[in-house]
Copies of this chain bind each other. A is one copy, B any other.
């Protein structure tokens, strides 16, 4: 791909993230084009359908999340890594309308599904590690963690929680996840 095309692709992705973050996924592709400073045709050249554009955003987000997870997994305090990761993700969700809507979207294609699976596996690693470290209850399964993560993110996303409310809400969920010992 040529340098200018690559630059435009990135500008479109950035514009799309911003626009969809502002107005939700029903915002028009035209607005994305305008924000990116390109013509509408250029957006559709790079992403042949609106779905494709949304999926590309999602893929990017998931990629970044995987990156963060890798860091946390390499952390010194494995028992806390899951909590930190979830808190970070919720924080991001509160700023991006796109993330969570897309996480729960049905009918994503294979590439994206792969990314999701990789995210699942990353979270599973954090979960297992926390359970081995004794901070998370043994009877907690991956599905519930994902469910809670999705739910809390969507809540944060739509309700526009402030930092304090976010912290307090997570505190409750974390208390529910922790072992008696983990609660200190």
Contacts and interface: CB of A to CB of B under 8 A. Distances in A.
Nearest to A154: B154
Interface string A148-184: 1011111110111100010011011111110010000
Nearest to A166: B147
A125 B126 CA distance: 38
A112 B19 CA distance: 28
Contacts of A88: none
Contacts of A148: 152, 155, 169, 172-173
B165 A155 contact: no
Interface residues of A, number: 33
Contact of A154 (B144, B158, B174, B175): B158
Contacts of A155: 104, 147-148, 150-152, 154-155
- Complex copy number for this chain: 4
A169 B159 CA distance: 20
A152 B149 CA distance: 9
Nearest to A174: B176
Nearest to A183: B180
Interface of A: 26, 101, 104-106, 140-141, 143-144, 147-148, 150-156, 158-161, 165, 168-169, 171-177, 180
